Amino acid sequence: MENKLWTKDFTIITLGSVVSMIGNALASFAMSLFVLDFTGSTLYYSIYIFLYTLPQIAAPVISGPLMDRFSRRRTIYWLDFTMTALYIFLGAMVYFDVLNFGIFAAAVFVSGMISSVYNVAFQSFFPMLISEGNYTKAYSISSALETLTFVMIPVSAFVYNTVGLCPLLIANALCFLAAALFEMRISDVEGKNVLEKPAEYGGGQYIKDMREGGRYLFSEKGLLAITLYFTVISFSGGASQVITLPWFRGNFENGEYIYTSVWAFMVIGRVLGGMLHYKIKLPTDKKYAIALFVYVSIALLEGFYLYTPIIVMQGACFLNGLLSVTSYNIRISATQSYVPNERKGRYNGTFMMLNTVGALLGQLLAGALSEFLPTRMVLTCFMAFSAVSALVIIGGNKKHVVPIYNRQA
């Protein structure tokens, strides 16, 4: 008999994450617009982005050992309560017109830190609410819902330009509050699925746990190869973020709208891909081969699509969206079902930290190279590096990656 996916706990965590994602998508884009309007400075905007991203380097790997010792469920809803208070505070600052950039910057840094810890806790707890054999379905839902939050961006811009930032901040606070109340109703499923906390848990035990997590990752050559390759993907993706929008704006009148019309097809592809993966199961013994093909194909599509007419760009982005969901589902369902629950916090924390570092390095290097090289050529080089890395890292470690990917999840 097939296990039921939509259990009470899975339904609650899904509803809670949808509510918080929608609220965050509405507020985050509006906050970016507010910084530009409030300061009138690209420098201050870059500082704002940097301060949100900075804690994402250290916070995941630091919090990982703690997520393997303490309740992830309680961590999730208490962090959502904290975000509720933070956004109410920011909303009040805007409403009474006493907000300055220093306060805003500090709040953004705290928000980035909380989000980083929350992501480790959530990614480590979510698999525990998935019934056996339903990992691919569950993550196809998660991927589709995350993609749909992009639809909130134009809504955010409209609401911001109509009524300002304050209502969006308060709405986000209410979304986090609703999510926390949902999450409190999840059953205490952790039990012995996380490490037992010693009577006295201090710095020595914390360091020991962190070292043990590192030894585990290096002892698992397949997991290590997957983690390293997705760091390369983040590195190339960071370059794409820096290059793509400026290229469209520099080569088309109203280039930002052309950019939106092209990348909308990526969103459509991801949503349809998520729906397909919910209905169709990939053959278990072919997942590794499919993943390797997808990794190389995505890199080649993104490396060359800027040289084509707009309609071809849209088709390439649509295919990229479909393939990206396939890549995401194979990787996350395989690794999250493979890594033991008592090590998920440390593995996910390390994975997220390396991906953030990769993205930042890609952004910095691509920005520097674009000063004296054609931007399309820079993007092509980054994506060629990603394609070659797939063949070397994933292809070269086939015997270690196959047991992780080619398994029922």
Residues 36-73 have pLDDT tens digits of: 788 877 678 778 878 888 888 889 988 998 888 888 99
Residue 133: HSE in the Cβ half-sphere, 13 Å Cα cutoff:
5
Task: Compute the distance between CA of residue 260 and CA of residue 270 in angstroms, rounded to an integer.
Answer: 15
Say what percent of the chain tops pLDDT 70: 97
Measured from the Cβ of residue 17, the count of other Cβ atoms closer than 10 Å reads 20
Please name which of 23, 8, 210, 171 lies closest in space to residue 88, comparing C-alpha atoms: 171
Three-state SS for 100?
coil
Say what percent of the chain tops pLDDT 90: 48
Lowest pLDDT segment from 170-179, 253-262, 375-384: 253-262
Q: What is the pTM of this model?
A: 0.86
Cα–Cα separations (whole angstroms), residue 43 to 35, 39, 305, 311: 10, 9, 31, 35
State the average pLDDT over residues 228-237. 95
Task: Compute the distance between CA of residue 46 and CA of residue 39 in angstroms, rounded to an integer.
Answer: 11
Residue 297: both structure tokens together: 């194909």
pLDDT, residue 332, reads 92
pLDDT digits (tens, 9 = 90+) for 287-323: 999 999 999 999 999 999 999 999 999 999 999 999 9
Three-state SS for 378?
helix
State the average pLDDT over residues 181-193. 82
